[in-house]
Structure formats: structure tokens, C-alpha cells
Amino acid sequence: MTTPPKSSAAAFVDLINDEYREVIKAESAVLPHALKCGDYLNRAKESVKSEKRQKWSEWLKLNCPDISQETASVYMRLDEFKDLIQKKKAKTIAEAREIIREHRQRNRQPKQPDADKPAGGFDPAAPKVSTTAVENHELYTMLIGSWEDDDLRELAKRITDHLTKKSALFPRPEISSGATNAPSVALRR
């Protein structure tokens, strides 16, 4: 293949499109292998858990050193949603991951109000956190993929304890309902 002179961008159009079609073709061939790999990884993980000899992450690192924990987690999740992925006719890993993300978002249960707390536990002063931003964070992905559920629960408990202690040291200001017996104070500029 000859490369056209750099002076003409139009001369690259056919080359760019040809190469892009090759990329798409190659990506389409990858998904079935990722699904099979995910199936085998899930089976191996169950076996490692039942044998109770070592942690899954250790087993993976020792026996499949070319597969990162994050990649293994992606493939395992693809396998868990294989029927949905096939139903939606995903062609690439990226499309399959997007299908899973959308499915999880649609099926996420709204938090139930807590009847024992004022306003059902709603705290208007609490910072708004996008769950999508958290789910897309690489630390979250790594933790979910490589840690056992019991380890994640322990981490969540420790984070909760930390935040409870911190809120005791630095309480949030009370939210006023608007009614007050205190005299009003004018602010000067």
C-alpha cells in the first residue's frame, strides 16, 4: 500500500475508512472469545472459592499472569450477562459493556425512605454523587472485580465508621425550616 503525499487530506479518506473497517472487523471477532474466557474464569473462580486454598486474585495472578484483574472482571461480567448481550446483538466488548451498564441503571432499585428519620432520611445538605461517575471510576472497577464480597463489606463498614466519626467531629449545619425565634441579622456588604 502506497502512502499518498501529505499535502492532500482527501487522499487519506479511503485509507482511513479501509483501516477503520478492518478495526471493526477485528473487534467483532473478539467478543465471542471474551465471553468464553469469562465463562471459564467464572468457573475457575467458583472452584477456587470452594477449595478455599487461596484468594481468587492470587490464583488469577499465579495461573493467568497475562490477564489483569480488571480484564478478568470485565470478561466475567460479560459472561454473567451473556444472554442479554446476545439478545441485544452486541458486536464488540464496548457495546456489550454499554448494554450491561444501561441494564443495571434501568434495574437499580430506588432507595426506600427511612420512616424512623425526619423527611424519610433525606438529607438536603448531603453532596450529590453521580452513581455513574462512581461506577466508571477505575478504583471502583478494580475493587468490585478483584475483591471478595466479604472484603467489600468490611471496607464499606470501615468507610462508614470513618465518616460517622468525621461527622461527629465536624457536624453539618442544621437546616432551618424557615421559622425561627432568633432576631434577624442584616448582612453588610
Exposed / middle / buried, residue 85 (Cβ in 10 Å: 0-12, 13-18, 19+): buried
Count of structural domains, the chain: 1
Across the range 7-26, mean pLDDT stands at 86
Cα radius of gyration (the chain): 26
User: Can you read off the three cell numbers belonging to residue 44?
Assistant: 475457575
Across the range 27-45, mean pLDDT stands at 93
d(CA 34, CA 69): 14
28 located within any domain: yes
> How high is the pLDDT of residue 116?
63
Give residue 18's domain range. 14-107
Count how many Cα atoms sit within 13 Å of the Cα of residue 92 in the half-sphere of its side chain: 8
176 located within any domain: no
69-80 helix and 138-146 helix, angle to the nearest 10 degrees? 70
Residue 106: strand, helix, or coil: helix
174 located within any domain: no
37 located within any domain: yes
The one-letter amino acid at 129: V
Residue with cell 424557615: 178
- Comparing CA positions, the residue from 63, 31, 30 lying closest to residue 44 is 63
pLDDT tens per residue, range 98-114: 999 999 988 876 656 66
125 located within any domain: no
71 located within any domain: yes
- Pick 41 or 120 by higher pLDDT: 41
34 located within any domain: yes
182 located within any domain: no
pTM: 0.53
